[in-house]
């Protein structure tokens, strides 16, 4: 979903233990998947992409 304010679907996916791929905007970008200085584990929790090609490049080997 593009520019979702919070991203409850992202949180639900994370709770289910899946690797998240979300649009690089809104809540998923700002609140959920970016590294945080407030968490002990300072690493991204998924992948963000703004275009179809960005999504494809995330998982290309």
Kindly list the domain boundaries of the chain, sorted by start residue.
8-58
What pTM, to 2 d.p., does this model score? 0.63
Give residue 16's pLDDT.
Answer: 92
Instruction: Please list the ranges in the chain whose pLDDT falls under 70.
Output: 1-4, 31, 35-43, 61
Q: How far apart are CA 40 and CA 51, in angstroms?
A: 31
Residue pLDDT, tens place only, 16-33: 988 888 888 887 877 677
């Amino acid at each position: 979903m593009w520019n979702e304010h919070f991203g409850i679907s992202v949180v639900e996916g994370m709770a289910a233990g899946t690797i998240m791929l979300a649009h690089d905007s809104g809540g998923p970008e700002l609140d959920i998947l970016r590294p945080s200085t407030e968490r002990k584990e300072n690493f991204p929790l998924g992948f963000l992409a703004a275009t179809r090609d960005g999504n494809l490049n995330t998982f290309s080997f």
